[in-house]
Amino acid sequence: MRYFIALVVCFSLIIPNFTSKAFAGEQENVYERRMELYKRVEAVTNLPWYYMAAIDQYERSIRLARKDLPKAEGLSGIYFRPEEWAGLLNPDIQDTNPVSIQFFNGIGFDGNGDGKADVRDDEDVLHAFAQYLLTYGTDHDNIKIGLWNYYKRDKTVGIIIGKAKIYKHFGRLDLEQHAFPVPLRSNHSYKNTWGDARGWGGRRIHEGTDIFAGYGVPVRATGYGIVEMKGWNRFGGWRVGIRDINNTYHYFAHLSGFAKDLQVGQVVEPGQVIGGVGSSGYGPPGTSGKFPPHLHYGMYKDNGYTEWSFDPYPHLRLWSREERARLKKG
């Protein structure tokens, strides 16, 4: 069963919004069962469920993005190294005895009350992390301090806190739907140019896809996420950066302007207008018109250490297909 769930989880991440009905049902079930787990931890510890959901999702995402970590097999994505779980000096690295684990200062914990602290048990794993955070406190600021001491990386703490805000805002875990960045009915065109010699708004190589459209055509958030950046850059012009729940950063450049009231820290949903297509950039703030109006759309993945650009083109194709299918269904 465990293996089956892991397969389902993996597949859902490789092929988002897979259309098979049976599959969709299974996936829904995974979200429900995860939510049950988070709520059970909340009931015992008073740690709001959305923080546990955010930590769990962060860890799940980095495990998918990295080769040095084993893939998540259960409902929870949190990974503890065996020696971290059992305690550094514990001679039994597979120890499941809560008493000896505690004696050796391991993080392992018996969360489901079966007398064993089992690193393969989802409830034990989530409770272990929760117990660690409890040593700091259950309010926002202390959770942040606890996270910083655990990960020792500002960006990771920021990403997790952002996810918690997204989950709290929507009150659910299923936030995988996407939208195409400009309205499908607008006149637009794009080609696969990722990796070409630098175009407009890329970094070293062309780190994105240019979607050509008329000046002022609405630019929309492509997923559920949080606005991480908004402002001017000499090359990118007016830009917005949005982080989704899979640690992916979505970058929108050369905008004509921003949606009214759009703010850093704001939670957005797929299809929400964030600005307009423009030709800003390549000069001091306000410079515009040095090239034809287009949206530069980039995607970046964070793996807990570093962030890299990947090709948005296949995703754009998929999202436009999916959105068309949704519109058809009505």
**Phi-psi label, residue 242: left if phi above 0, alpha if psi -120 to 50, beta otherwise:** beta
Quick check: 111 binds Zn ion (CB under 5 A)? no
Give the nearest distance from C-beta 293 to Zn ion in angstroms. 12
Q: Which uninterrupted H or E stretch holds 329?
A: helix 313-329
| Cβ nearer to Zn ion, comparing 203 with 301 | 203
Contact between 199 and Zn ion by CB under 5 A: the answer reads yes
Q: Which is nearer to Zn ion, 201 or 225 (CB)?
A: 201
Verify binding: residue 124, Zn ion, rule CB under 5 A. Answer: no
d(CA 242, CA 248): 8
CB 34, CB 56: distance < 8 Å: yes
Residue 121 token pair: 């048990």
Q: 246-285 mask for Zn ion (x: CB under 5 A)?
A: ----------------------------------------
The least CB distance from residue 297 to Zn ion, in Å, is: 8
Stretch binding Zn ion (CB under 5 A), from 11-19, 32-40, 200-208, 281-289:
200-208
Q: At which residue do the structure tokens 């998918």 appear? A: 64
Stretch binding Zn ion (CB under 5 A), from 131-139, 171-179, 198-206, 266-274: 198-206
For Zn ion, the binding residue among 60, 178, 296, 315 (CB under 5 A) is: 296
Q: Which stretch binds Zn ion (CB under 5 A): 55-63, 103-111, 133-141, 208-216?
A: 208-216
Region of 11-19, 27-35, 179-187, 196-204 interacting with Zn ion (CB under 5 A): 196-204
Binding-site size, Zn ion (CB under 5 A)? 6
- Quick one: DSSP state of residue 205? B
> Measured between alpha carbons, how far is 308 from 304 in angstroms, rounded to an integer?
11
> CA 181 → CA 64, 167, 223, 288, 312, distances in Å?
25, 22, 9, 21, 11
Residue pair 316/252 in contact by the 8 Å Cβ criterion: no
What are the phi and psi torsion angles at 198 (to 5°)?
-45, 130
Calculate the alpha carbon distances from 215 to 8, 253, 261, 277 in Å. 42, 13, 20, 5
Q: Is 330 helix (H, G, I), strand (E, B) or coil?
A: coil
Q: For Zn ion, which is the closer residue by CB, 42 or 210?
A: 210
Q: 82 or 199: whose CB is closer to Zn ion?
A: 199
Span near Zn ion by CB under 5 A; candidates 19-27, 234-242, 265-273, 296-304: 296-304
Query: Is 274 exposed, middle or buried (CB count within 10 Å of its CB: 0-12, 13-18, 19+)?
Result: buried
Task: Report, in Å, the least distance between residue 319 CB and Zn ion.
Answer: 18
| Closer by beta carbon to Zn ion, 210 or else 228 | 210
Strand (E) or helix (H) holding 242: strand 237-244
From 199-207, 228-236, 270-278, 315-323, span contacting Zn ion (CB under 5 A): 199-207
Q: Among residues 56, 210, 228, 322, which is the contact residue for Zn ion, using CB under 5 A?
A: 210
Kindly write out the interface string for residues 150-189 of this chain, putting x where it contacts Zn ion by CB under 5 A and - elsewhere: ----------------------------------------
- For residue 193, the minimal CB distance to Zn ion (Å) is 7
Helical packing angle, 2-14 and 21-45, nearest 10°: 110
Residue, CB closest to Zn ion: 296
Residue among 265 and 292 whose Cβ is closer to Zn ion: 292
The answer to whether the CB of 124 falls within 8 A of the CB of 108 is yes
Residue 201 found at the interface with Zn ion (CB under 5 A): yes
| Residues within the interface to Zn ion (CB under 5 A) | 199-201, 208, 210, 296
